[in-house]
Amino acid sequence: MIKKISSPKIKIWFEPMFFYGFFCGFERCGSAAFPNFRGGTSSPRACRGAKCVRTNSSILHKIVEQNTKNLISKIPPEVSQVTDTLEKAGFEAYLVGGCVRDLLMDMEPKDWDITTNAKPEEIMKLFKKTVYKNTFGTVGVCVLRETINVNVSHETPNSNVTHETLEYMIIEVTPYRIEVKYSDFRHPDEVKFSNKLEDDLKRRDFTINAMSYRNGHLTDMFDGLKDIKNKTLRTVGEPDHRFQEDALRMLRAVRFSAQLDFSISHETMESIIKNSELIKKISSERIRDEFEKIIMSKNPASGIVMLQKFELLKNIIPELEEGIGCEQLGEHIYDVWEHLLHALQHAADKNWSLEIRLSALFHDVGKPRTRRIAETASTKNSGAFALGDRRTEDPRRIEFLSKQFPSVKKKYTFYGHEVIGARMVKKTMERLKFSKKETELVEKLVRNHMFFSDTELITLSAVRRIIVKVGPTDAKVLAGKKEINHPIWDLMKVRECDRVGMKKKEAPYRLRKYFAMIEEALRDPISVGQLKINGEFMIKELGIKSGPRMGWILNALLEEVLDAPEKNTIEHLSELVKSLDLLPDGALKAIGDRGKEKKEELEEKEIEKLHTKHGVRK
């Protein structure tokens, strides 16, 4: 049962957003900083003991009842081959960590990790091909597996070709180990190998990752199975110890919560807040990898809220926190922070790419730095007059105006926020070591997300210019093929996120009109350029002179091909050119004009189809 929160600010957001995802991640609150979506806090008395109740847990309720022997069939034969080889040589071998967790949750593991009492040298002797390039004892065992590739033929039906190929699957095998001390809060100072499975499990980060499995037997020393059932994330042992060993685990806690829709235990949450400054010790690359996984989870908005509440965000991307409480007014019902979270979540709900999600999160990040106050007030002599723009940070006020005109209405402007935002996101992504390609695309999308204008006034040439701005000028994109990833479609998706972030419809008329205009600008026009021969060919190969007659001939050829596309061959068109060249100017011009009219008529029909498709008028 969900306990109600008495704080007015929390009550507004807790009830409607709870199952949407923005409030996942918190088991209960006994501290003075109970998280809420708006970035504020509530009284601990008001929310003490509040429990995060989850939905969609039917699969997890079956876990306790299921026979773990059934998991054997889900393990790839290549993985079993490695464990069998180790056991035949007299060693223990267990599946461990995330793959066990995923098997129990009926999810497909991305990686398969094995732990054993064999030492690295002993592991390498048992397998033909291994990789061992680290100081932690992990050996990559390379196992051949067959993959089936189907080459789809577009020439004739039922002519697909199937190929079987061999490729290496790398399975990581790590000896049981004891990690002693972490002076740099990142890596153990020393790694000692052990002969006990217990030693290896108790050094792991969270209980749900501290289980091992082999031949139907599940080793669960820390109630990981119970925590999976309750959808709760807890550390193995004291949270402070785990996070001071490797501070990245604090980000991993948020990531697992966002990915698995788990709550974070109260003790773990308090420890993260207490140790949040340690995240500064972690390299940008490792932080980026975890941040990217949070963004690509099903609940990235809740992940960002947790980062902020756990005081991690201020040490990673402080620019985002500037939007908390930065009201926008006008058409916006949310402040900048809330608006960006809604936009990001919409991108995730649509299962869009990393670049689109990042662009949605950052598209208005420049607003707090560009916000100005624009006030208007009525007078006896005029309808209204502008008092001008002032920075909101300026505390000065013209007091006599408020006394003379009590009905002053506050309004904000954000001129140039897309330019400032693009600069900010570039610096942020470079700081976190994102790739140059990812950074450039997100920067472009943020910089150009305000391209919208009145679709009744904008010209097709203006649409073409924005296409060139965000994408390569030589991009070949076919009409209506939105699955071909020209960056202009990414920009349209960011625009949709922006609208939904304002609690508006996904595709209003104006957005649909832009889709139609973009497709029109991208489509290959009907022209003589589609012919297999051109003017240069006609001059060199057929002896036709340059001039009006050549243009008439080309238009005549186009009419022929539009009626019968199969005639668009060099041989057929060459013979037709020779025949047409025998006609006098008047007759040839008439045929050419007819071909030109045919082309224009078909062009009109194609454009009409686009407008009908998107439900807009021309």
Encode pLDDT of 223-258 as tens digits.
999 999 999 999 999 999 999 999 999 999 999 999
Short-list 7, 100, 73, CA closest to 46? 7
Residue 46's pLDDT is 34
- 99 burial (CB, 10 Å; 0-12 / 13-18 / 19+) is buried
Candidates 363, 97, 317; CA nearest to 210 is 97
Q: Helix, strand, coil % (nearest 5) of the chain?
A: 50, 10, 40
Tokens of 324: 């908390």
Domains of the chain and CATH, by start: 8-57+231-316 (1.10.110.30), 60-153+160-229 (3.30.460.10), 528-614 (no CATH)
pLDDT value at residue 484: 55
How many Å apart are CA 481 and CA 360, to the nearest integer? Answer: 23
What is d(CA 244, CA 279) in angstroms, rounded to the nearest whole number? 10
Residue 387's contacts (CB-CB under 8 Å, 6 or more residues apart) are: 374, 375, 376, 377, 398, 401
CA atoms within 13 A on the CB side of 207: 23
pLDDT value of residue 114: 96
Residue pair 333/503 in contact by the 8 Å Cβ criterion: yes
Q: Which residues contact 226 (CB under 8 A, 6 or more apart)?
A: none
Q: What gap in Å lies between CA 83 and CA 71, rounded to an integer?
A: 15
Rounded to the nearest 10 degrees, the angle between the axes of helix 585-614 and helix 509-522 is 150
Name every residue whose Cβ is closer than 8 Å to that of residue 587 and which is 6 or more positions away in sequence: none
Residue 51 has which token pair? 């429990």
Q: How many CB atoms lie within 10 A of CB 150?
A: 9
pLDDT for position 618: 55
CA angle 226, 229, 230 (to 5 degrees): 90
* Position 211, amino acid: M
62 phi, psi to nearest 5 deg: -80, -15
DSSP character string of 32-52: S----TTS----HHHHBT---
Which DSSP letter does residue 20 get? G
Residue showing tokens 């949750």: 105
How many whole angstroms from its chain centre is CA 331? 26
**Do 287 and 255 contact (CB within 8 A), yes or no?**
no
Give the per-residue SS3 of 447-485: HCCCCCCCCCCCCHHHHHHHHHHHCCCCCCCCCCCCCCC
- Beta carbons within 8 Å of 199's beta carbon, 6+ residues apart: 176, 177, 178
Q: Which residues pair with 386 in a beta bridge?
A: 376
Q: What single-letter DSSP state applies at residue 326?
A: -
- With contact defined as beta carbons under 8 Å apart, do 338 and 344 qualify? no
Burial code of 542-556, b = ≥16 C-beta within 10 A, e = fewer? eebeeeebbbbbbbb
Q: Which residue matches tokens 């091992």?
A: 212
The 8-class DSSP code of residue 393 comes to T
CA distance 61 to 231: 10
Cα-Cα end-to-end distance for the chain = 54
The CA angle 212-216-222, to the nearest 5 degrees, is: 35
Confidence (pTM): 0.72
DSSP class of residue 206?
Answer: B
Backbone angles phi, psi at 372, to 5 degrees: -130, 155
Kindly compute the dihedral angle of the four CA atoms of residues 583, 589, 595, 601, in this order, to the nearest 10 degrees. Answer: -160
- Please give the sequence-ordered ranges of beta strands (E in DSSP) within 87-216, or none if there are none: 93-96, 113-116, 130-131, 139-151, 161-175, 177-179, 191-193, 211-214
614-617-618 Cα angle (round to 5): 110
* Cα 211 to Cα 223: distance, rounded to the nearest angstrom: 9
Mark out the alpha helices in 332-485 (DSSP H runs).
336-349, 354-362, 367-370, 399-404, 417-431, 436-447, 460-470
The whole-angstrom separation of Cα 344 and Cα 41 is 23
Return the number of other C-beta atoms located less than 10 Å from residue 394's C-beta. Answer: 9
At position 504, the amino acid (one-letter code) is K
Q: What is the pLDDT of residue 149?
A: 57
Cα dihedral 464, 467, 469, 471 in deg (nearest 10): -140
Taking 50 as the pLDDT cut, the residues of the chain under it are: 1-65, 152-157, 377-406, 473-483
The β-bridge partners of 193 are 177
